[in-house]
């Protein structure tokens, strides 16, 4: 199921980013130190008690223009929250009281019919508590006093926000249904590819509403295998906010990624690779989804016998963290090679769910260690006692060793490559965790 999303909205200088960082904590840092995996500061994951949720910091959105653009900025931030969030934290400031900008935001939020929790920031002492009562007049119920500087009041605020999280329901699709999302920056041809896939299969099914807000799920079937195409949330919805900047494509892609088994990272073959492509692909990699890199609009590219190989080389260089992902060159416009997409999706989904028997895994590890023994560190040598696969989607392994600190990243990568040599795991990332061997074994 998709995690609920919380958006922090408010006029400038009320401390939105400070509160965002307080809630997110260390999760805002880069997860993997690999080229191309970057984090956009306006969107992250967070936890509170037993709840996991996404959080948007609208204070991190860069809007061009001077002070005369404040009202426009507030409207765009509120529109973003309305479109993306399950719960909105409306942040105001105790010392300045209610401003015209606050009232402008409150009008928009009222119309949204979304749950709104009112947070009054910069309540840094007991005296400041007297300043919160006027905010009742905004009409959002009890104002929650918080302090970004001291980190106080956040627990009560998040408790209230969590009351409005959607109830978790059962997964809406059977286990044998492969869920596919197409992600990428605007104008790479995601919608055209979806239409081409549906046309190719001649199975036009009435779209059904997905569990993610503004998403359109379209079932289709090929050779007895059922698929669901998860259109990037709101892809067919017009909105000035999303036309204004490519940054929002990241926000929308994340919701689709969460619900997918296999992600088609779509690139515009005419324009080539830009940083935004790597950012969006990085989220899919970190989420552990099956990944296929799809170069669309290949028919429009002037090419000779070297063009495709050169493009593959550039992709491998720019997307080093996706060295396991297959690359397909297609054209939604001419239907060129579109028929290869679903069979490859099926192959990647099978690899994503593949489980290696424990004895086979340990044979691979023994052979790997025999071929290239672990290096020593200060006279100590790493010893891998045994390994086991603990989960799939993505395939995840635990290696039990004598001392986890002796496992160098390069040797862990070597073990991973040896596993891939025996079982390709095409299109799926692998997760390896190193643990101290217990005395009992």
| 181 in a known ligand binding site | no
| 232 in a known ligand binding site | yes
Whether 268 shows a pLDDT value over 70: the answer reads yes
Q: How confident is the model at residue 32 (pLDDT cuts 50, 70, 90)?
A: very low
156 or 82: whose pLDDT is higher?
Answer: 156
Q: Report the pLDDT value the prediction gives residue 371, as an integer from 0 to 100.
A: 95
pTM of full prediction above 0.75: no
Most confident of 15-19, 209-213, 288-292: 288-292
Most confident of 58-62, 133-137, 342-346: 342-346
| 2 in a known ligand binding site | no
Q: How confident is the model at residue 145 (pLDDT cuts 50, 70, 90)?
A: very high
| 348 in a known ligand binding site | no
| 237 in a known ligand binding site | no
Q: Report the pLDDT value the prediction gives residue 149, as an integer from 0 to 100.
A: 84
| 231 in a known ligand binding site | yes
* Average pLDDT score over residue span 235-258: 54
| 260 in a known ligand binding site | no
Span 76-135, pLDDT tens digits: 666 766 777 889 999 999 988 998 888 888 888 888 889 999 999 999 887 778 788 899
| 403 in a known ligand binding site | no
| 369 in a known ligand binding site | no
| 74 in a known ligand binding site | no
* Average pLDDT score over residue span 64-85: 62
Task: Please state which of the ranges 20-24, 258-262, 336-340, 437-441 shows the lowest mean pLDDT.
Answer: 437-441
Q: Report the pLDDT value the prediction gives residue 1, as an integer from 0 to 100.
A: 55
Span 394-405, pLDDT tens digits: 999 999 999 999
Within the chain, all domains assigned CATH 3.30.300.20 are found at 358-436
| 186 in a known ligand binding site | yes
| 60 in a known ligand binding site | yes
Nearest to 4 by CA among 139, 167, 125, 144: 167
Whether 233 shows a pLDDT value over 50: the answer reads no
Q: How confident is the model at residue 262 (pLDDT cuts 50, 70, 90)?
A: very high
| 155 in a known ligand binding site | no
| 184 in a known ligand binding site | yes
* Average pLDDT score over residue span 131-159: 92
Q: How confident is the model at residue 248 (pLDDT cuts 50, 70, 90)?
A: low
Whether 162 shows a pLDDT value over 60: the answer reads yes
Task: Please state which of the ranges 28-32, 74-78, 422-426, 433-437 shows the lowest mean pLDDT.
Answer: 28-32
| 25 in a known ligand binding site | no
| 344 in a known ligand binding site | no
Q: How confident is the model at residue 36 (pLDDT cuts 50, 70, 90)?
A: very low
| 299 in a known ligand binding site | yes
| 121 in a known ligand binding site | yes
| 36 in a known ligand binding site | no
| 435 in a known ligand binding site | no
| 309 in a known ligand binding site | no
Whether 49 shows a pLDDT value over 90: the answer reads no
| 131 in a known ligand binding site | no
Chain-centre distance for alpha carbon 6: 15
User: In CATH, which of 1.20.1740.10, 3.40.50.1820, 3.40.50.300, 3.40.50.150 is domain 5-162?
Assistant: 3.40.50.300
Per CATH, the homologous superfamily of domain 178-352 is P-loop containing nucleotide triphosphate hydrolases (3.40.50.300)
Within the chain, all domains assigned CATH 3.40.50.300 are found at 5-162, 178-352
| 159 in a known ligand binding site | no
Q: Is CATH 3.30.70.141 the classification given to domain 358-436?
A: no
Q: How confident is the model at residue 207 (pLDDT cuts 50, 70, 90)?
A: very low
| 298 in a known ligand binding site | yes
Whether 74 shows a pLDDT value over 60: the answer reads no
């Amino acid at each position: 199921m998709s995690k609920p999303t919380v958006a922090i909205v408010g006029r400038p200088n009320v401390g939105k980013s400070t509160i965002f960082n307080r809630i997110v904590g260390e999760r805002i840092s880069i997860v993997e130190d690999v080229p191309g995996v970057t984090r956009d500061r306006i969107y992250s994951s967070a936890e509170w008690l037993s709840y996991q949720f996404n959080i948007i910091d609208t204070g991190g959105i860069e809007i061009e223009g001077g002070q005369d653009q404040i009202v426009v900025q507030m409207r765009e931030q509120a529109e973003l929250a309305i479109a993306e969030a399950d719960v909105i934290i409306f942040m105001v400031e105790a010392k300045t009281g209610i401003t015209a900008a606050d009232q402008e935001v409150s009008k928009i939020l009222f119309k949204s019919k979304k749950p709104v929790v009112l947070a009054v920031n910069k309540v840094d002492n007991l005296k400041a508590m007297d300043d919160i009562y006027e905010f009742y007049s905004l009409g959002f119920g009890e104002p929650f006093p918080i302090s970004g500087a001291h980190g106080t009041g956040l627990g009560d605020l998040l408790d209230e926000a969590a009351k409005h999280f959607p109830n978790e329901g059962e997964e809406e699709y059977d286990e044998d249904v492969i869920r596919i999302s197409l992600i990428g920056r605007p104008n790479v041809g995601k919608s055209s590819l979806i239409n081409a896939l549906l046309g190719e299969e001649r199975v036009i099914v009435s779209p059904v509403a997905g569990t993610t807000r503004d998403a359109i799920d379209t079932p289709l079937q090929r050779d007895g295998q059922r698929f669901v195409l998860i259109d990037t949330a709101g892809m067919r919805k017009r909105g000035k906010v999303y036309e204004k900047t490519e940054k929002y494509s990241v926000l929308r892609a994340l919701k689709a990624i969460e619900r997918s088994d296999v992600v088609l990272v779509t690139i515009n073959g005419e324009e080539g690779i830009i940083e935004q492509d790597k950012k969006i692909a990085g989220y899919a990699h970190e989420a552990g989804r099956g990944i296929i890199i799809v170069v669309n609009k290949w028919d429009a590219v002037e090419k000779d016998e070297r063009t495709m190989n050169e493009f593959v080389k550039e992709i491998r260089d720019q997307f080093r963290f996706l060295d396991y992902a297959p690359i397909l060159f297609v054209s939604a416009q001419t239907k060129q090679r579109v028929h290869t997409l679903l069979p490859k999706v099926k192959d990647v989904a099978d690899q994503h769910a593949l489980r290696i028997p424990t004895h086979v895994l340990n044979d691979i590890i023994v052979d790997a260690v025999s071929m290239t023994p672990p290096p020593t560190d200060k006279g100590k040598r790493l010893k891998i006692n045994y390994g086991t696969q603990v989960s799939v989607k993505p395939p995840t392994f635990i290696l039990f060793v004598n001392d986890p600190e002796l496992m160098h990243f390069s040797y862990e990568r070597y073990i991973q490559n040896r596993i891939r040599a025996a079982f390709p795991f095409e299109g799926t990332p692998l997760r390896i965790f190193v643990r101290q061997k217990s005395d009992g074994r």
